[in-house]
């Protein structure tokens, strides 16, 4: 086989064409060109076509600065995240992006890395760009102080609600998430001796989910059979806590793990000790992180916080606010249980 000739890529022109260039090329005035391109007003079909062609030939794109300057609108919103690497900011960003892309709204992205000073700096930068709204995404559901700026531009807090109850926040219902898991174990998996391995205690998500689980169990006349222990969000903690649990001699037929990694560690130890999952012990996780849950040796039943939905809803509420119909207070997106082999045979 002969080597094909290398493809030739088109020359790229130097300077951006302006509307004046287009007008000149089409032999019309500035305003005529302007109108023709936005097929407004009364313009003769021929001129319109002529202008269009000129614009195309010059590969004209309107200068949005100038447009914004006169219209007062930027069609741009700011998204301020705290950490892009984590498990939570990114899905929210994705959800928001999906909605805003449809709305032809551009996203200016900044990352405050959890530093309030950087947050302020970035907000100033965003405001300079005349953004029409802000979505603040935080990686935990712990309520956060409101953004520190004086302007009255629409703001939506995603995942972490604002401490100001009047602000528009959108987050998940941790208490209900706890209930979901407990109900599933009792009603679907028919468990009665349910143990618990917590995540990090300082997360309100941890205590709220626990509270929900306990409330649900109580309604079934049950309670958690193990000591309530918190640790870290890691597999290692899942393994350690499970070993302790087994050694304690407590009899249990299910374990609520507060995230997927913990569940994964837990299952590993259970299987190592010759216990069958779910026949002998059912295990649940949380977060529904597919890479952890779905393809595991025993796929893990988990609860999703629907962070992408939260991001999308945040974007929709922001768009509403920009259009003059603001929302107030905190909206809760329901969590969702995904049953898998770790609880149901």
Partner DNA sequence: TTGTATGCGTTATCAG
Partner DNA sequence: CTGATAACGCATACAA
Binding site for DNA (CB under 7 A): 18-20, 27-32, 34-35, 37-38, 40-44, 46-48, 60, 62-63, 65-67, 69-72
Least distance to DNA from the beta carbon of 37, Å? Answer: 6
Give the x-and-dash track for 282-311 against its own copies (CB under 8 A): -------x-xx--xxx--------------
C-alpha distances (whole Å) from 66 to each of 4, 33, 61, 73, 299 are: 45, 15, 12, 10, 54
Does the footprint of its own copies cover residue 104 (CB under 8 A)? yes
91 binds its own copies (CB under 8 A): yes
Instruction: Kindly state whether residue 139 participates in binding its own copies, applying the rule CB under 8 A.
Output: no
Q: What angle do CA 297, 302, 304 make, to 5 degrees?
A: 135
Assess 3 for contact with its own copies (CB under 8 A). Answer: no
For tokens 């991001």, the residue is: 311
- Answer yes or no whether residue 10 interacts with its own copies by CB under 8 A: yes
Footprint on residues 211-240 left by its own copies (CB under 8 A):
234-236, 239
Q: How far apart, in Å, do the first and last CA atoms of the chain sit?
A: 56
Asked whether the bond before 79 is cis by omega within 30 degrees of 0, the reply is: no
Q: Which residue has 């000073």 as its token pair?
A: 117
Q: Which residues contact 85 (CB under 8 A, 6 or more apart)?
A: none
Nearer to its own copies, 10 or 249 (CB): 10
3 state DSSP class of 142: coil
Contacts of 316 (CB under 8 A, 6+ apart): 99
Choose from DNA, its own copies, none: what does 46 bind? Cβ within 5-8 Å by kind: DNA
Which is nearer to DNA, 55 or 147 (by Cβ)? 55
Residue of 27, 31, 69, 215 that binds its own copies (CB under 8 A): 69
Question: Is 117 one of the binding residues for its own copies (CB under 8 A)?
Answer: no
Helices 235-248 and 260-272, interaxial angle, to 10°? 50
CB of 57 to DNA, least distance (A): 15
The rounded distance, in Å, linking the Cα atoms of 229 and 216 is 19
CB of 250 to its own copies, least distance (A): 23
Count of residues binding its own copies (CB under 8 A)?
66
DSSP 70-103: HHS---EEEEEES-SSSSSHHHHHHHHHHHHHHT
Stretch that binds its own copies, among 24-32, 36-44, 101-109, 280-288 (CB under 8 A): 101-109
The CA distance from 84 to 71, in Å, is: 33
User: What does the alpha-carbon distance between residue 255 and residue 281 come to, in Å, rounded to a whole number?
Assistant: 7
The partner in contact with residue 150, picked from DNA, its own copies, none with C-beta cut-offs of 5 to 8 angstroms by kind, is its own copies
151 binds its own copies (CB under 8 A): yes
110, interface contact from its own copies, DNA, none, CB < 5-8 Å by kind: its own copies
Nearer to DNA, 33 or 309 (CB): 33
Nearest to 93 by CA among 81, 106, 75, 85: 81
> Is residue 250 near its own copies by the rule CB under 8 A?
no
The residues, any chain, with a CB within 8 Å of residue 37's CB and separated by 6 or more, are: 19, 22, 51, 52, 55, 62
Question: Rule CB under 8 A: which residues touch its own copies?
Answer: 6-7, 9-10, 12-14, 16, 59, 61-69, 74, 76, 79, 84-85, 90-91, 93-94, 97, 101, 104, 106-111, 118, 122, 124-125, 127-130, 146, 149-152, 163-166, 234-236, 239, 261, 265, 268, 289, 291-292, 295-297
């Amino acid at each position: 086989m002969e080597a094909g000739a290398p493809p030739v890529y088109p020359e790229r022109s130097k300077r951006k064409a302006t509307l004046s260039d287009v007008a000149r090329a089409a032999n019309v005035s500035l305003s005529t060109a302007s109108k023709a391109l936005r097929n407004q007003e009364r313009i003769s079909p021929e001129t319109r076509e002529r202008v269009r062609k000129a614009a195309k030939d010059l590969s004209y794109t309107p200068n949005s600065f100038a447009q914004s300057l006169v219209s007062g609108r930027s069609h741009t919103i700011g998204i301020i995240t705290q950490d892009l690497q984590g498990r939570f900011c990114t899905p929210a960003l994705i959800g928001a992006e999906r909605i805003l892309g449809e709305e032809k709204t551009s996203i200016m992205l900044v990352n405050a890395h959890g530093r309030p000073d950087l947050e302020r700096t970035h907000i100033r930068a965003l405001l300079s760009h005349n953004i029409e709204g802000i979505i603040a995404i935080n990686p935990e559901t712990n309520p956060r102080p409101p953004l520190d700026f004086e302007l009255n531009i629409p703001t939506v807090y995603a995942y972490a609600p604002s401490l100001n109850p009047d602000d528009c926040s959108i987050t998940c219902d941790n208490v209900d998430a706890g209930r979901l898991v407990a109900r599933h174990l009792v009603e679907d998996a028919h468990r009665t001796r349910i143990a618990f391995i917590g995540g990090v205690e300082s997360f309100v998500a941890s205590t709220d989910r626990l509270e929900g689980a306990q409330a649900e169990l109580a309604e079934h006349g049950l309670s958690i059979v193990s000591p309530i222990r918190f640790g870290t969000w890691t597999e290692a903690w899942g393994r350690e806590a499970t070993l302790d649990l087994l050694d304690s001699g407590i009899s249990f037929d299910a374990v609520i793990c507060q995230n997927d990694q913990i569940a994964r560690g837990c299952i590993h130890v259970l299987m190592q000790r010759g216990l069958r999952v779910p026949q002998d012990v059912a295990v649940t996780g949380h977060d529904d992180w597919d890479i952890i849950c779905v393809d595991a040796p025993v796929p893990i039943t988990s609860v999703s916080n629907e962070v992408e939905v939260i991001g999308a809803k945040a974007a929709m509420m922001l768009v509403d606010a920009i259009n003059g119909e603001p929302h107030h207070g905190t909206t809760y997106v329901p969590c969702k249980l995904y049953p898998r082999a770790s609880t149901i045979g």
